[in-house]
Amino acid sequence: MAAEGVLYRNFNELPAQAKLSQLALNPLDLSRPGVVNPERIANYRASGGGFDLLFFGQRLDERALAALQELADESQAVRQFAAMRQGAVLNLIEGFASENRQVLHCSCRDVFSKMPVEPKSAEQAKTELAKLRCFLMELADGRLSAPNGEPFTGMIQVGIGGSDLGPRALYLALKAYARPDRVVKFISNVDPDDAAAVLGELDLARTLVNVVSKSGATLETLANEELARQAYRRAGLKPEDYFVAVTGQGSPMDNPRNYLRSFYLFDYVGGRYSATSMVGLVMLGFALGYEGALAILRGAWRMDGAALEPEIGKNPALLLALLGIWNRNFLNYESLAVLPYSQALTRFVAHLQQLDMESNGKSITRQGQELAWQSGPIVWGEPGTNGQHSFYQLLHQGTGLAPVEFIGFRQNQYAQDLVLQDTTAQEKLLANLLAQSLALALGQTDANPNRRFPGNRPSSILLTDRLTPESMGALLALYEAKVVFQGFVWNINSFDQEGVQLGKTLASRLLAHYAARRRKQPAPADPLAQALLAAAKLV
């Protein structure tokens, strides 16, 4: 099904684009006295899906904001989002060989209403959830236990890219809510030391291994799976009693002889959008219990609903997308720093790097034409106050700079806290977050040039009450929607990743040399590969 009634328009053909270009010639200067005032702070705010977005710290006024709303309307960003949820084939490049797939990650969480938006995929999601529920019940009530009769207390997730980054970020974010009797570890890198370190940390006799690969043929994952199977065999354990597969139906991994269970994922859910599919949920269900996993879905589902709101004041994902476009295409900032003031979000930015840069690091339109405008920024960042004692120096006083998205929570996850100098640690954390946003905007004059801050450096603040499974699901969905909205406005395909292929091809040329050596065959005639291996002192 095509995106019915949606017209793809090029970014530089949208009337609002020209208007914004004009406005960007003279953008708001946040460091001018009085610009950042109580009224602006109160008014530059949007709410939806449980999150508040404060954006007084962006370099725009009411006119630019109105033009951004027009940009959203003219590009039909929300309408494309709705079409995506309904099953439009949006993963394509028109007129060229491409993946030609639907984009239905939202269906993974469209399991709460009687009338799902795209019934077939929502039904498939429900089926997998029901399988997961059974699996988790059997683990909980002891019907399914380790061969030694003990309950399973550990899980190792083996996956790479989207099968690792999003799930890992969510697990670490929600560890405070994990069952105290269960622990999860991850193996992702093809680095054999990664596997060795993790396999050495757990009691394998009580540990499940969750192998995640859509194709069932991801080389890194197969290598790590095999390292894990060897470790189990060395420990006198049969891998098939411990290994679980999350894979495409009918893939080489969909084989009950090798796995305790198979959970399915579908080609309409891309890797970087798959955290709320079985890719993330099997592991998260094991750690948090079924209700915890479901709470993540509920939060994401609510945010998906908020993302359908055409008015930017009620749609934080859309507004965040547009502010990003303002900074990238009109004010020409190349990168974006995402700075969560929560240690639990320690790997969330690594997930966002994939989500954003793999989706929108593109140079052609959905019609295969070279872009005449910038697409996705470089995304980077680290949690909160540790960053303040690190790279914030450059954010405040560098010759370069990056717009910032702060993420904060009004309360902390654990009950533990203490009052020192009349404030709690959580209050210090929040005060620092808000203060950084102000400092970036206002700057400071001083007779000592080293104590001058230029200010006028853009930032936004995303806030909600507490980091819980539900709000984590909402935050995940918020960024998914943000990235997708930007792709729609830029008229690019945010759902493929052809840019990873060339490296793979060239790696196989180099591996052919290693393989030939191992087989005691002559090296392939490939002067470039030979020179490179020699220069690296690898032959």
Looking at residues 208 to 267 of the shown chain, list those that interact with a second copy (rule: CB under 8 A): 219-220, 222-224, 226-227, 230
Cα 51 from Cα 471, distance rounded (Å): 8
Interacting residue with a second copy among 503, 520, 522, 525 (CB under 8 A): 503
Q: Decide if 311 is catalytic.
A: no
Q: Does residue 160 interact with a second copy by CB under 8 A?
A: yes
Angle among Cα 206, 212, 218 to the nearest 5 degrees reads 130
Taking the mean position of all CA atoms in its chain, how far away is CA 210?
20
Question: Which residue, 202 or 350, is less far from a second copy as judged by CB?
Answer: 350
The nearest distance, CB 486 to a second copy, in angstroms, is 13
Q: Is 34 in the site for a second copy (CB under 8 A)?
A: no
CA distance 487 to 421: 47
Please identify, using beta-carbon distances, which residue of 116 and 384 lies nearer to a second copy.
384
> Least separation, in Å, of the C-beta of 129 and a second copy?
26
Whats the size of the chain, residue-wise? 539
Question: Nearer to a second copy by C-beta: 297 or 325?
Answer: 325
484 near a second copy (CB under 8 A)? no
CB of 281 to a second copy, least distance (A): 20
Residue (162 or 239) nearer to a second copy, CB: 162
| Contact call for residues 477 and 494 (beta carbons, < 8 A) | no
Interface with a second copy: number of residues (CB under 8 A): 159
Q: How many CB atoms within 10 Å of residue 255?
A: 14
Q: Interface with a second copy includes 520 (CB under 8 A)?
A: no
Residue 199, H or E segment: helix 192-199
Q: Which residues pair with 462 in a beta bridge?
A: 53, 407
Copy the structure tokens of residue 15.
Answer: 């009337």
Which of 7, 181, 501, 522: binder of a second copy (CB under 8 A)? Answer: 501
Q: Find the binder of a second copy among 362, 405, 474, 477 (CB under 8 A).
A: 362
Shortest approach of a second copy to residue 145 CB, angstroms?
A: 25
Query: Is the Cα torsion angle 390, 391, 392, 394 positive or negative in sign?
Result: positive
- The residues in 419-478 that bind a second copy, with binding defined as CB under 8 A, are 419-432, 434-436, 438-439, 442-444, 448-454, 461, 463
Nearer of residues 24 and 438 to a second copy, judged by Cβ: 438
Q: Choose the stretch contacting a second copy; rule: CB under 8 A; options: 71-79, 242-250, 256-264, 359-367.
A: 359-367
Regarding 354 and contact with a second copy (CB under 8 A), the answer is yes
Q: Of these residues, 114, 370, 504, 537, which one is catalytic?
A: 504
Q: Residue 202 has what DSSP assignment?
A: S
Cβ atoms of 243 and 260 within 8 Å: the answer is yes
Q: Per the structure block, which two tokens stand in for 281?
A: 């949920």
List the one residue from 112, 249, 506, 524 that touches a second copy (CB under 8 A). Answer: 506
Pick the stretch among 20-28, 40-48, 102-110, 124-132 that binds a second copy (CB under 8 A). Answer: 40-48
Range in contact with a second copy (rule: CB under 8 A) among 66-74, 83-91, 304-312, 352-360: 352-360
Q: Closest separation between CB of residue 293 and a second copy, Å?
A: 21
Phi, psi (degrees; rounded to nearest 5) at 48? 175, 150
User: Catalytic site residue 358?
Assistant: yes
CA distances from 86 to 14, 107, 477 (A): 25, 9, 17
- Contact 440/395 with Cβ under 8 angstroms? yes
Compute the distance between CA of residue 42 and CA of residue 57 in angstroms, rounded to an integer.
12
Q: Which is nearer to a second copy, 113 or 411 (CB)?
A: 411
Single out the residue of 87, 292, 377, 469 in contact with a second copy (rule: CB under 8 A): 377
Nearest to 88 by CA among 474, 535, 484, 510: 484
What separation in angstroms does the CA of 265 have from each of 57, 254, 273, 476?
Answer: 41, 11, 12, 19
Binding positions for a second copy, 293-312, rule CB under 8 A: none
β strands within 287-435, DSSP E: 335-340, 378-380, 404-409, 419-420, 423-424
If binding is defined by CB under 8 A, does position 50 make contact with a second copy?
no
- Locate all alpha helices (DSSP H) within 215-335, ordered by sequence: 219-234, 278-288, 290-306, 316-325
Compute how many other C-beta atoms are within 10 angstroms of the C-beta atom of residue 536: 9
**Segment 65 to 94, residues that bind a second copy, using CB under 8 A:** 93
162 binds a second copy (CB under 8 A): yes
Whether residue 114 lies in the annotated active site? no
- Residue closer to a second copy, measured from CB, 26 or 399: 399
Question: Which amino acids are annotated catalytic?
Answer: 358, 389, 504
